[in-house]
Amino acid sequence: MTPHEPSSREAQIQPHGTEADRLRILELSDQIRHANYLYYTQSSPEISDAAYDKLMQELIRLEEIFPDLAEVDSPTRRVGAGVSATFQPVNHRVPMLSLDNAFGDDELRQWEEKRIRALGMEPDSVIEYACELKIDGLSVSLTYENGRLVCGATRGDGDTGEDITANLRTIAVIPMRLHAPHGESLPELIEVRGEVFMSHHEFARINQEMEESGGKTFANPRNAAAGSLRQKDPTITASRRLDAFFYTVGACEGYTFQSQHDLLATYTKWGLKTNPNIRLCCGAEEVSQFCATWHERKGELPYDIDGVVVKVNSFALQRELGQVSRSPRWAIAYKYPALQVRTKVEAIEVQVGRTGALTPVAYLTPVAVAGVIVSRATLHNQDEIRRKDVRVGDTVVVQRAGEVIPEVVEVVTAERSGEEIVFEMPTECPICSTRVVQPEGEAVVRCPNPLCPRKIEQQIEHFVSRGAMDIEGLGEKQCEQLTSTGLVRDPADLYKLTMENLLGFERMGEKLATRILTNINASRTRPLARLLYGLGIRHVGEHSAEVLASHFGSLEKITMASVEELSAVHEIGATTAQSIATYFADPETADLLNRLKELGVNPQVHAGAPSSDELAGKTFVFTGTLAKMKREEAEALAKRYGARASGSVSKQTSYVVAGESAGSKLTKAQQLGVPVITEDEFLEMISGFGDSAEPDLTLDLFD
């Protein structure tokens, strides 16, 4: 409900309120303003969306009851707050509004009933709605004058945003000029509005890059998109491959849209990207079905959505309904329940990782979050624990978003009994009792002991993992046994293992032991990039390992490279270069590499060379959800036979392989007459090629 839609309680309560009400309103306003500042200006929110919504709803309710106490510039009357000094302010000609929320079908039905009443329609009338996915990104406003992009801005506080034209121009899907087919007319001026977002795939790529270069990773794709849009250097934004969908209009001169459906169709015609998953629904019932379908299918999308936006389709009806202070009355956001639940912190324990980093972990009373039982959540480090003030015994809100590790969002302080215990990071390693160190400027505390048994165990686990030497059969348990018995103290020891050694272990039969030994043997000729990654050099992830391997071509050359030579390599930053040089300068590394060599570890350099060239000169675009493999795997398969894999469809594209719910790329392929094939047809096509007649999809395809 909004401050302008009086509740039935309003009449009974006096508008002036008590001193306590006044103070609460001030407190809530301050909290919301601060949250807005962190969210909009700093791009680093500290409270969850759910917590924010709760504060906002309480304030809206209080202002409804005591309208006299509402501040003139109350945050309920603004959409956000704060414009950073870095970018020039831009006044939106028409304010950028926000949406009211409906949680669930009942609220949606009530919302519809109100619209019917407001429009003076018969109670059982049916309104036509345009239902769209609610993209979880950042809204932007693009001003086009006679079809030319003249300005691009953030939403800011709704009235004034920031000029980020230079950054927006780098986004491939944003047209510099609108396209008017057959000389049709374009508006003299239009504020095109939509959402800039980052796909899951790009988010994973950026975070991996951040990790490899020692930078701070982003918590979710939305933050990554926000961080990328607010770069002072547009080349950084350009390297982030942001995406966008357009869905609404601000000011518009010289053109009239009839409906939301008309607007979307026109935008598409003009070359503005719109989301293909839109449906016209008659009445709340059909809308509910659309929302339920996308609640279920949400995971298939390559980007995040946080609900469905339901808009009255006819612009004539929209005008009639108008708006209240912060939101249009013709639209509502149907929100899905947050993937957040409450549970209790039973203990906080510290884990030691392969680099010696001590990570506090909250052990929780097991609870189901979005269908998965969560019993542990990372607390990251001592600073995070202090910031959130998490104590043993606390009731906390935990959140699971996509594939991300569950985390503690906030403490429910109202539930505190006073018995909760404040946690302090240990000053000694919980495994080997060595005094921990905290490098200056770092939040992480580390165990410096190179012989710490847990570090060794984790290093071995990393060395044998899928992305590294891929030694199947050596799981967590086996690594623990191998290292705790002292049989394996570093990766070279793996290549000395015998049948006898392995048979001494629990639940280890001859069959499993043979398999492990065969796999260890096979790993001797893994590609160089995998060995490099497996060594666990700080800041060297899978991608930089590949870059290094293909640049230098041999392990010897990498070991001898200077910091300057390393950092001259494209995509290897200064921190990574320093870390590599330090690692190889260490006599212990030299000793390890010598022993690996003596034991027959002879990494191969593939440099991504195709295993055959049947598809040379062909370009593939994979789109939609594939059933048998991930998109990256399909791309790797195509490359294996000499093809190129691209992210966008053009006349140069040879084939578009379309999976489930393929969207705009499929449409574009059809428009351009590019052949579209199914995943099975693609597999069929390559089945007769080169080395593997039947690609084994369980194998790693990135060799």
Q: Binding mask 256-295 vs ligand IVH (x if CB under 6 A, - otherwise)?
A: ----------------------------------------
With vertex at residue 489, the alpha carbon angle to CA 485 and CA 492, rounded to the nearest 5 degrees, is 125
Task: Name the residue nearer to ligand IVH (CB basis): 59 or 596.
Answer: 59
Q: Residue 333, interface with ligand IVH (CB under 6 A)?
A: yes
Q: Residue 134, interface with ligand IVH (CB under 6 A)?
A: yes
Radius of gyration of the chain from Cα atoms? Answer: 29
The window from 26-34, 249-257, 327-335, 349-357 that contacts ligand IVH (CB under 6 A) reads 327-335
Member of 43, 213, 248, 579 binding ligand IVH (CB under 6 A)? 248
Task: Name the residue nearer to ligand IVH (CB basis): 132 or 394.
Answer: 132
The window from 97-105, 219-227, 426-434, 518-526 that contacts ligand IVH (CB under 6 A) reads 97-105
Which distant-in-sequence residues (6+ apart) come within 8 Å of 232 by Cβ? 86
Q: Residue 157, interface with ligand IVH (CB under 6 A)?
A: no
Q: What is the SS3 assignment for 276?
A: coil
- According to DSSP H, which parts of 154-231 are helical? 165-169, 200-212, 221-229
- According to DSSP H, which parts of 413-504 are helical? 453-464, 476-484, 491-494, 499-503
Binders of ligand IVH among residues 305 to 324 (CB under 6 A) are 309
Task: Annotate 549-584 with b (16+ C-beta within 10 A) or e (fewer).
Answer: bbbbeebeebbebeeebbbebeebbeebbbbbbebb
Task: Annotate 148-164 with b (16+ C-beta within 10 A) or e (fewer).
Answer: ebebbbbbbbbbbbbeb
Written as one letter, the residue type at 303 is Y
54, 134, 311, 344: the catalytic one is 134
Residue 328 contacts residue 97 (beta carbons within 8 Å): yes
- Measuring CA to CA, which residue among 284, 394, 293, 407 is closest to residue 339? 407
Q: Residue 247, interface with ligand IVH (CB under 6 A)?
A: yes
- Beta bridge pairs of residue 551: none
Closest distance to ligand IVH from the beta carbon of 54 (Å): 16
Q: Residue 40, interface with ligand IVH (CB under 6 A)?
A: no
The window from 84-92, 326-334, 403-411, 694-702 that contacts ligand IVH (CB under 6 A) reads 326-334
Question: Among this protein's residues, is 273 annotated catalytic?
Answer: no
Task: Name the residue nearer to ligand IVH (CB basis): 98 or 459.
Answer: 98
Q: Using the 8-state DSSP alphabet, how is residue 399 labeled?
A: E
The window from 92-100, 163-171, 378-386, 681-689 that contacts ligand IVH (CB under 6 A) reads 92-100
Distance of CA 636 to the CA centre of its chain: 22
Task: Name the residue nearer to ligand IVH (CB basis): 328 or 541.
Answer: 328
Q: Residue 139, interface with ligand IVH (CB under 6 A)?
A: yes
Closest distance to ligand IVH from the beta carbon of 101 (Å): 8
Q: Residue 99, interface with ligand IVH (CB under 6 A)?
A: yes
* Residue closest to ligand IVH when measured from CB atoms: 139
A 10 A CB-CB count for 196 gives: 27
Please state whether 200 falls in left (phi above 0), alpha (psi between -120 and 50) or beta: alpha
* Beta strands 148-154 and 160-162, pairing class: unpaired
Closest distance to ligand IVH from the beta carbon of 278 (Å): 8
The window from 231-239, 325-333, 385-393, 452-460 that contacts ligand IVH (CB under 6 A) reads 325-333
Cα-based distances in Å from 436 to 8, 14, 444, 446: 61, 61, 10, 5
Member of 47, 83, 135, 284 binding ligand IVH (CB under 6 A)? 135
Q: Binding mask 176-205 vs ligand IVH (x if CB under 6 A, - otherwise)?
A: -------------------x----------
Q: Residue 97, interface with ligand IVH (CB under 6 A)?
A: yes
Task: Name the residue nearer to ligand IVH (CB basis): 138 or 408.
Answer: 138
Active site residues: 134
Residue numbers of the site for ligand IVH (CB under 6 A)?
A: 97-99, 132, 134-135, 139, 195, 247-248, 309, 328, 331, 333
